[in-house]
Structure 1
Amino acid sequence: MSKQDIHSYLAEFDDIPGTRVYTAKRARKGYQLNQFAMSLMKEENRKRFKENEEAYLDEWDITPEQRKALLARDYNTLLDLGGNIYFLAKVFSTDGLSFVQAVSTMTGMSVEEYQAMMNAGGRSPVGLRSIKEKN
Protein backbone atom coordinates (compact mmCIF):
# COMPACT_ATOMS: atom_id res chain seq x y z
CA MET A 1 0.00 0.00 0.00
CA SER A 2 1.48 3.36 -0.96
CA LYS A 3 1.69 6.33 1.39
CA GLN A 4 -1.25 7.98 -0.37
CA ASP A 5 -3.26 4.77 -0.20
CA ILE A 6 -2.79 4.49 3.57
CA HIS A 7 -3.91 8.10 4.10
CA SER A 8 -7.00 7.54 1.95
CA TYR A 9 -7.73 4.33 3.82
CA LEU A 10 -7.39 5.98 7.23
CA ALA A 11 -9.53 8.94 6.12
CA GLU A 12 -12.39 6.51 5.53
CA PHE A 13 -12.58 5.96 9.30
CA ASP A 14 -13.77 9.55 9.69
CA ASP A 15 -16.87 8.72 7.61
CA ILE A 16 -18.35 6.30 10.16
CA PRO A 17 -21.27 8.05 11.91
CA GLY A 18 -21.01 8.14 15.69
CA THR A 19 -17.62 6.44 15.74
CA ARG A 20 -14.11 7.71 16.36
CA VAL A 21 -11.47 5.18 15.41
CA TYR A 22 -8.37 5.59 17.57
CA THR A 23 -5.62 5.89 14.99
CA ALA A 24 -1.91 6.68 15.40
CA LYS A 25 -2.67 10.26 14.31
CA ARG A 26 -5.27 10.58 17.04
CA ALA A 27 -2.89 9.02 19.57
CA ARG A 28 -0.21 11.60 18.76
CA LYS A 29 -2.74 14.43 19.00
CA GLY A 30 -3.97 13.25 22.40
CA TYR A 31 -0.73 12.08 23.99
CA GLN A 32 -0.59 14.74 26.73
CA LEU A 33 -4.35 14.55 27.29
CA ASN A 34 -4.13 10.81 27.83
CA GLN A 35 -1.09 11.19 30.09
CA PHE A 36 -3.13 13.58 32.23
CA ALA A 37 -6.00 11.08 32.37
CA MET A 38 -3.66 8.26 33.37
CA SER A 39 -2.29 10.40 36.19
CA LEU A 40 -5.70 10.03 37.82
CA MET A 41 -4.90 6.40 38.55
CA LYS A 42 -3.13 7.66 41.68
CA GLU A 43 -5.31 8.65 44.58
CA GLU A 44 -3.22 11.70 45.45
CA ASN A 45 -3.62 13.02 41.89
CA ARG A 46 -7.38 12.45 41.90
CA LYS A 47 -7.57 14.38 45.17
CA ARG A 48 -5.50 17.28 43.80
CA PHE A 49 -7.59 17.37 40.61
CA LYS A 50 -10.87 17.39 42.52
CA GLU A 51 -9.62 20.15 44.86
CA ASN A 52 -8.61 22.49 42.02
CA GLU A 53 -9.11 21.26 38.47
CA GLU A 54 -7.73 24.43 36.87
CA ALA A 55 -4.49 24.33 38.87
CA TYR A 56 -3.98 20.62 38.23
CA LEU A 57 -4.54 21.05 34.49
CA ASP A 58 -1.94 23.86 34.48
CA GLU A 59 0.65 21.14 35.10
CA TRP A 60 -0.13 19.42 31.79
CA ASP A 61 0.85 20.40 28.26
CA ILE A 62 -2.65 20.09 26.86
CA THR A 63 -4.21 22.34 24.24
CA PRO A 64 -6.72 25.05 25.17
CA GLU A 65 -9.41 23.02 23.36
CA GLN A 66 -8.56 19.90 25.38
CA ARG A 67 -8.61 21.90 28.61
CA LYS A 68 -12.01 23.43 27.80
CA ALA A 69 -13.47 20.02 26.91
CA LEU A 70 -12.03 18.46 30.08
CA LEU A 71 -13.52 21.13 32.30
CA ALA A 72 -16.88 20.73 30.52
CA ARG A 73 -16.60 16.91 30.58
CA ASP A 74 -17.36 16.96 26.87
CA TYR A 75 -16.25 13.41 26.14
CA ASN A 76 -17.14 13.47 22.43
CA THR A 77 -14.90 16.49 21.90
CA LEU A 78 -12.17 14.87 23.99
CA LEU A 79 -12.30 11.86 21.67
CA ASP A 80 -12.04 14.18 18.67
CA LEU A 81 -9.02 15.82 20.30
CA GLY A 82 -7.16 12.54 20.68
CA GLY A 83 -8.55 11.16 23.91
CA ASN A 84 -8.64 7.41 24.30
CA ILE A 85 -11.89 6.22 25.90
CA TYR A 86 -10.04 3.84 28.22
CA PHE A 87 -7.83 6.66 29.47
CA LEU A 88 -10.77 9.07 29.69
CA ALA A 89 -12.47 6.49 31.91
CA LYS A 90 -10.09 7.69 34.64
CA VAL A 91 -11.72 11.13 34.39
CA PHE A 92 -15.29 9.98 34.69
CA SER A 93 -14.36 7.46 37.37
CA THR A 94 -12.84 10.35 39.33
CA ASP A 95 -16.22 12.06 39.00
CA GLY A 96 -17.93 8.95 40.38
CA LEU A 97 -19.53 7.97 37.07
CA SER A 98 -19.70 4.44 35.77
CA PHE A 99 -18.67 3.68 32.21
CA VAL A 100 -22.34 3.28 31.25
CA GLN A 101 -23.28 6.62 32.80
CA ALA A 102 -20.48 8.48 31.04
CA VAL A 103 -20.95 6.83 27.65
CA SER A 104 -24.70 7.44 27.71
CA THR A 105 -23.95 11.19 27.84
CA MET A 106 -22.02 10.75 24.59
CA THR A 107 -25.02 9.24 22.80
CA GLY A 108 -27.70 11.73 23.78
CA MET A 109 -29.57 8.91 25.50
CA SER A 110 -30.53 8.47 29.12
CA VAL A 111 -28.65 5.80 31.04
CA GLU A 112 -31.75 3.60 30.87
CA GLU A 113 -32.15 4.06 27.10
CA TYR A 114 -28.45 3.36 26.51
CA GLN A 115 -28.52 0.23 28.69
CA ALA A 116 -31.63 -1.05 26.92
CA MET A 117 -30.02 -0.49 23.51
CA MET A 118 -26.83 -2.29 24.53
CA ASN A 119 -28.74 -5.15 26.17
CA ALA A 120 -30.68 -5.54 22.91
CA GLY A 121 -27.44 -5.97 20.96
CA GLY A 122 -26.24 -2.40 20.40
CA ARG A 123 -26.94 0.02 17.60
CA SER A 124 -28.69 -1.37 14.58
CA PRO A 125 -26.52 -1.90 11.51
CA VAL A 126 -29.45 -0.59 9.48
CA GLY A 127 -29.54 3.14 8.91
CA LEU A 128 -26.94 5.87 8.52
CA ARG A 129 -23.71 4.19 7.38
CA SER A 130 -21.83 7.13 5.85
CA ILE A 131 -21.54 10.75 6.90
CA LYS A 132 -20.62 11.86 3.37
CA GLU A 133 -23.37 9.90 1.65
CA LYS A 134 -25.92 10.36 4.47
CA ASN A 135 -27.03 6.73 4.13
Structure 2
Amino acid sequence: MALDKPYLDVPGTIIFDADQSRKGYWLNQFCMSLMKAENRARFKADEKAYLDEWPMSEEQKRAVQARDLNWCMRTGGNIYFLAKLGATDGLSFQQMAGSMTGMTEEEYRNMMINGGRAIDGNRYVGEDGDAQEHRQPQGGK
Protein backbone atom coordinates (compact mmCIF):
# COMPACT_ATOMS: atom_id res chain seq x y z
CA MET A 1 0.00 0.00 0.00
CA ALA A 2 1.52 3.30 -1.09
CA LEU A 3 1.69 6.07 1.45
CA ASP A 4 0.08 9.43 0.79
CA LYS A 5 2.88 11.92 0.15
CA PRO A 6 1.44 15.44 0.15
CA TYR A 7 4.99 16.83 0.28
CA LEU A 8 5.47 15.83 -3.34
CA ASP A 9 3.47 18.98 -4.16
CA VAL A 10 6.30 21.29 -3.05
CA PRO A 11 7.96 22.76 -6.17
CA GLY A 12 11.66 22.24 -6.65
CA THR A 13 11.94 20.11 -3.52
CA ILE A 14 13.18 16.56 -3.25
CA ILE A 15 12.23 15.02 0.07
CA PHE A 16 14.61 12.33 1.26
CA ASP A 17 12.08 9.74 2.35
CA ALA A 18 12.24 5.94 2.55
CA ASP A 19 11.81 5.57 -1.22
CA GLN A 20 14.65 8.02 -1.93
CA SER A 21 16.77 6.30 0.69
CA ARG A 22 16.37 2.92 -1.02
CA LYS A 23 17.02 4.43 -4.45
CA GLY A 24 20.17 6.22 -3.31
CA TYR A 25 21.61 3.69 -0.88
CA TRP A 26 24.79 2.93 -2.85
CA LEU A 27 25.26 6.52 -3.99
CA ASN A 28 25.17 7.64 -0.38
CA GLN A 29 27.49 4.80 0.70
CA PHE A 30 29.95 5.92 -1.97
CA CYS A 31 29.79 9.46 -0.57
CA MET A 32 30.41 8.20 2.96
CA SER A 33 33.48 6.32 1.71
CA LEU A 34 34.99 9.72 0.90
CA MET A 35 35.42 10.38 4.61
CA LYS A 36 38.64 8.32 4.40
CA ALA A 37 41.66 10.06 2.90
CA GLU A 38 42.79 6.96 1.01
CA ASN A 39 39.38 6.68 -0.67
CA ARG A 40 39.39 10.36 -1.62
CA ALA A 41 42.83 9.88 -3.19
CA ARG A 42 41.68 6.81 -5.13
CA PHE A 43 38.56 8.62 -6.33
CA LYS A 44 40.48 11.72 -7.44
CA ALA A 45 43.07 9.55 -9.21
CA ASP A 46 40.49 7.70 -11.34
CA GLU A 47 36.89 8.68 -10.73
CA LYS A 48 35.37 6.21 -13.17
CA ALA A 49 37.30 3.23 -11.79
CA TYR A 50 36.39 4.13 -8.21
CA LEU A 51 32.72 4.68 -9.08
CA ASP A 52 32.63 1.34 -10.90
CA GLU A 53 33.46 -0.37 -7.59
CA TRP A 54 30.03 0.70 -6.33
CA PRO A 55 26.75 -0.92 -7.44
CA MET A 56 25.21 2.44 -8.35
CA SER A 57 23.15 3.03 -11.47
CA GLU A 58 24.95 4.47 -14.48
CA GLU A 59 22.78 7.57 -14.10
CA GLN A 60 24.01 8.06 -10.53
CA LYS A 61 27.62 7.69 -11.67
CA ARG A 62 27.08 10.27 -14.44
CA ALA A 63 25.45 12.65 -11.96
CA VAL A 64 28.47 12.34 -9.64
CA GLN A 65 30.94 12.87 -12.48
CA ALA A 66 28.97 15.93 -13.63
CA ARG A 67 28.96 17.20 -10.01
CA ASP A 68 25.29 17.98 -10.54
CA LEU A 69 23.99 17.82 -6.98
CA ASN A 70 20.36 18.30 -7.98
CA TRP A 71 20.68 15.34 -10.35
CA CYS A 72 22.35 13.32 -7.59
CA MET A 73 19.43 14.14 -5.29
CA ARG A 74 16.88 13.11 -7.91
CA THR A 75 18.61 9.72 -8.06
CA GLY A 76 18.43 9.24 -4.28
CA GLY A 77 21.36 11.24 -2.97
CA ASN A 78 21.02 12.93 0.40
CA ILE A 79 22.61 16.36 0.64
CA TYR A 80 24.35 15.49 3.91
CA PHE A 81 26.06 12.54 2.24
CA LEU A 82 26.70 14.53 -0.95
CA ALA A 83 28.51 17.13 1.16
CA LYS A 84 31.37 14.61 1.34
CA LEU A 85 31.67 14.80 -2.44
CA GLY A 86 31.77 18.59 -2.30
CA ALA A 87 34.37 18.52 0.47
CA THR A 88 36.47 16.14 -1.65
CA ASP A 89 36.47 18.85 -4.32
CA GLY A 90 37.35 21.52 -1.75
CA LEU A 91 33.90 23.13 -1.78
CA SER A 92 32.09 24.60 1.20
CA PHE A 93 28.46 23.73 1.83
CA GLN A 94 27.60 27.31 0.86
CA GLN A 95 29.33 26.88 -2.50
CA MET A 96 27.46 23.62 -3.04
CA ALA A 97 24.11 25.22 -2.19
CA GLY A 98 24.82 28.08 -4.56
CA SER A 99 25.54 25.64 -7.38
CA MET A 100 22.22 23.90 -6.70
CA THR A 101 20.28 27.16 -7.07
CA GLY A 102 22.09 28.46 -10.15
CA MET A 103 23.67 31.23 -8.09
CA THR A 104 27.23 32.12 -7.34
CA GLU A 105 28.40 31.60 -3.78
CA GLU A 106 28.14 35.35 -3.15
CA GLU A 107 24.63 35.59 -4.63
CA TYR A 108 23.48 32.62 -2.54
CA ARG A 109 25.03 34.06 0.65
CA ASN A 110 23.42 37.46 0.05
CA MET A 111 20.03 35.86 -0.62
CA MET A 112 20.23 33.92 2.65
CA ILE A 113 21.44 36.95 4.64
CA ASN A 114 18.48 38.90 3.26
CA GLY A 115 15.95 36.34 4.49
CA GLY A 116 16.07 33.60 1.87
CA ARG A 117 13.77 33.05 -1.07
CA ALA A 118 10.36 34.63 -1.30
CA ILE A 119 7.66 32.09 -0.54
CA ASP A 120 5.37 33.25 -3.34
CA GLY A 121 5.12 30.44 -5.86
CA ASN A 122 7.21 28.16 -3.69
CA ARG A 123 4.58 26.65 -1.39
CA TYR A 124 2.69 24.16 -3.55
CA VAL A 125 2.70 23.17 -7.19
CA GLY A 126 -1.09 23.65 -7.22
CA GLU A 127 -0.85 27.02 -5.49
CA ASP A 128 -3.47 29.48 -6.75
CA GLY A 129 -1.75 32.70 -5.73
CA ASP A 130 -3.47 32.98 -2.37
CA ALA A 131 -3.13 29.33 -1.36
CA GLN A 132 -5.30 30.11 1.65
CA GLU A 133 -6.51 26.53 1.88
CA HIS A 134 -2.94 25.34 2.33
CA ARG A 135 -2.17 27.80 5.14
CA GLN A 136 -5.08 26.87 7.37
CA PRO A 137 -3.85 25.16 10.54
CA GLN A 138 -4.87 21.58 10.93
CA GLY A 139 -6.99 20.42 13.84
CA GLY A 140 -9.87 22.90 13.65
CA LYS A 141 -8.15 26.08 14.83
| Corresponding residue for residue 52 of structure 1 | 46
TM-score by length of 1: 0.89
Structure 2 matches for 1:83-102, cutoff 5 A?
Answer: 83-102=77-96
Query: Whole-Å Cα distance in 2 between the matches of residues 134 and 77 of structure 1?
Result: 28
Moved over 3 A (4+): 132-135
What is the SS of the residue equivalent to 1:67?
Answer: helix
Query: Whole-Å Cα distance in 2 between the matches of residues 45 and 35 of structure 1?
Result: 12
1:39 is aligned to 2:30:
no
How many Å apart are 1:133 and its aligned residue? 4.7
Structure 1 or 2: more helix by fraction: 1
Identify unmatched segments of 5+ residues in structure 2: 130-141
Identity of aligned residues (%): 53
Query: Whole-Å Cα distance in 1 between the matches of residues 80 and 122 of structure 2?
Result: 26
How many Å apart are 1:129 and its aligned residue? 2.4
Q: Higher Cα Rg: structure 1 or 2?
A: 2
What RMSD, in angstroms, separates the aligned Cα atoms of the two structures? 1.5
Across the two proteins, how many residue pairs are aligned to each other? 129
TM-score by length of 2: 0.85
| Corresponding residue for residue 25 of structure 1 | 19
Query: Whole-Å Cα distance in 2 between the matches of residues 36 and 62 of structure 1?
Result: 9
